[in-house]
Amino acid sequence: MKELSQERAPVLEALNRYKSMRVVPFDVPGHKRGKGNRELTDFLGERCLTVDVNSMKPLDNLCHPVSVIKEAEELAAEAFGARHAFFMVNGTTSAVQSMVMSACKRGDKIIMPRNVHRSAINALILSGASPVYVNPGVHTDLGISLGMSLGDVKQAIIENPDAKAILINNPTYYGICSNLKAITELVHKHHMLVLVDEAHGTHFYFGRNLPPSAMSVGADMAAVSMHKSGGSLTQSSLLLINNDVSEGYVRQIINLTQTTSGSYLLISSLDISRRNLALRGDEIFQGVADMAAYAREEVNHIGGYYAFSRELVNGNTICDFDVTKLSIHTLDIGLAGIEVYDLLRDEYDIQIEFGDIGNILAYLSIGDRKLDLERLVSALSEIKRRYAKDKTGMLSQEYIKPQIILAPAEAFYAESESLPLEQSVGRVCSEFVMCYPPGIPILAPGEKITAEILEYIQYAKAKGSFLTGTQDSLVNQIRTIKER
C-alpha cells in the first residue's frame, strides 16, 4: 500500500490513470464519456464528462471502499483530526441524518437546539427519535438566534438522563458559536454522544484564530460541508467520526440513504479540495478572515448597517464568532434583509447567500476577491441612499419559541388535512414551513400553530422570502393533524 501523504489525491490519480487506459465503456452512465450527449458535453466540457464514470475495480466503490476511496478517506481523516472520514455525495443533509440515525433508534431522545436545519428534524422523522429542544439564546437587537447556553444544556441533561446524544449547531449561519468544548465535556460525563452540525465550519480545521472545531474538542461525530467554505463541488460533504464510534455501523447507516452510484465528480472534488486545504488552508483562510474584516469596517462606515463580529461574544450563548462571516443587520435603514438581498441581485447583479427578516449574509470563502467586496460595499451604500426609509413597523424577531405537542415522526405520519393559513391557529402542524435559505423551520411537524407564528409567516411572504416545506407550493394552505 502506498504511503499516505497530504500531497497525494488518490481518487484524482486513479481517474487520471483510467483516462490514460482509453477503456471502451459498455457500462453506465449512458452518455458514454460524453459521446452520446453532445449538447451536455458542449455545456460541461469533455474533460468533465470523461470522468463522470461508474464504480469499478480500479476506481473503488463508495458504498464499500477498499482502495483509492479508502485511501482518500484516510487522508481526509488525518487532515481533519478525525478517526475516520466518510465521503458524502448526498450533501451535508445526508451527513446530518446519518449522524442522528447512528446515535438514535426509534423512541430514543436526542437533545438539540430548535434552530436546527431541517435535515436534523427530517432525521427524527426517519429514525423515530424524539427531540428534547433547548431554546437558543436570542439577540433582541439583531433579532437572531444564538447558541445554546451551558446552563440550559445541563438542565436538559438533568431532566432527560436517558437521552442518547446531543446535536449542536456550530457555527450558526450567522457565525455564532456555542461553548463547544465545555458542552462536549459535560455531555461526555453523562455518557451521551456529541454530534456537531458543522456545515458552515470547514475552515475551523485549517485557519488560525478561528473557533475550535468539533474534532479538536473531542466530539464524537461532525457533519462538514466541504462545498460551502472548502471549495469542493456542491453536494459534496464529509462525515467525521471520533472516539469509539463504530466505523462499520456508521457506514451501514450511511448506505441506507446514500446513492449506490456515487458521482466521481463529487468524490474527486472532495479529494482535491482536501489536499488543497491540508497544504494551503492556513494561508487561504487567513486571507478570507482579512477580507471579511476589511468588508465589515467598510460596511459599518456607511452607517445604518451593522456588520457584527466578535464584539458580540458574551461567554455563554455567544462563546465565539466566525470572523470569516460577513453578517449584516439591515433594519436600521428601514429594509428587511430579504429586501436588500433582492435589490443586490436584481439591481446590482450581486448574489449573496441569504436575506431574512432583519439580516443578510455574504458568504466569503476561498474564491472571493477584495475587488468583489468593494463592489458589494458600493452597492450597499447606494441601496441605503436610494431606498432607505423609516423603520417603524419593521418586524425583527427571528426565533419564536415553539410549542411542542407531538414528536416530529408521529405528527408527520398522522392523518392530516389541509387548511387555509388563517384558519389553522391552534391546530398542530404536520409539515414544515421555512424560509430557504437558511432552511431552519419556522414550524416543524408536531408544533402548535400560533397567531405569532402566522404573523411571522405572512410578514416573510410579504417581504419576498422564499418559503418552502408545505405541500401547497404557494404556502396559502398548511397541513394540520385531523382533530377527532
| pTM (two decimals) | 0.94
* Residue in this structure with the C-alpha cell 465550519, named with its chain if needed: 201
Alpha helices in 350-425 (DSSP H): 370-387, 408-413
Dihedral angle sign, alpha carbons of residues 313, 319, 325, 328: negative
Q: Does domain 408-481 have CATH number 3.90.105.10?
A: yes
Cell triple for 211: 473557533
Only one residue has cell 445604518, namely 304
Q: Could you identify the residue written with the cell 458521482?
A: 263
Segments making up each domain of the chain, as ranges: 62-260, 281-387, 408-481
Strand, coil or helix: what is 106?
A: coil
Closest of 252, 257, 251 to residue 239, by C-alpha: 251
Per-residue model confidence (pLDDT) at position 137: 87
Q: Identify the CATH assignment for 62-260 out of 3.40.50.1370, 1.20.1090.10, 3.40.640.10, 3.40.50.2020.
A: 3.40.640.10
Tens digits of pLDDT across the chain (484 residues): 456 899 999 999 999 999 999 888 899 999 998 899 999 999 999 999 999 999 999 999 999 999 999 999 999 999 999 999 999 999 999 999 999 999 999 999 999 998 888 899 999 999 999 999 998 888 988 988 899 999 999 999 999 999 999 999 999 999 999 999 999 999 999 999 999 999 999 999 999 999 999 999 999 999 999 999 999 999 999 999 999 999 999 999 999 999 999 999 999 999 999 999 999 999 999 999 999 999 999 999 999 999 999 999 999 999 999 999 999 999 999 999 999 999 999 999 999 999 988 999 999 998 999 999 999 999 999 999 999 999 887 776 667 888 999 999 999 999 999 999 999 999 999 999 988 777 788 899 999 999 999 998 988 888 888 889 999 999 999 999 998 7
pLDDT of residue 3: 67
Comparing CA positions, the residue from 280, 290, 271 lying closest to residue 206 is 280
> DSSP code of 201?
-
Answer CATH for 281-387 from 3.30.450.20, 3.30.565.10, 3.40.50.1820, 3.90.1150.10: 3.90.1150.10
Q: What is the DSSP letter of 2?
A: P
Instruction: Determine how β-strand 84-88 pairs with β-strand 237-241.
Output: antiparallel
Q: What is the C-alpha radius of gyration for the chain, rounded to an integer number of angstroms?
A: 23
C-beta neighbour count of 472 within 10 angstroms: 14
Backbone dihedral angles phi then psi of residue 124, each to the nearest 5 degrees? -70, -35
- DSSP secondary-structure letter at 35? T
- Strands of the sheet containing 109-113, edge to edge, are 84-88, 237-241, 221-224, 193-198, 165-169, 109-113, 130-134
Partnered with residue 479 across adjacent β-strands are 418
Quote the CA–CA distance of 75 and 147 in Å, as a whole number: 31
DSSP sequence for 360-376: EEEE--TT--HHHHHHH
pLDDT at 279: 97
Residue type, 377: V
Residues 187-206 as b/e (b if ≥16 CB within 10 A, e otherwise) read bbeeebbbbbbbbbbbbbbb
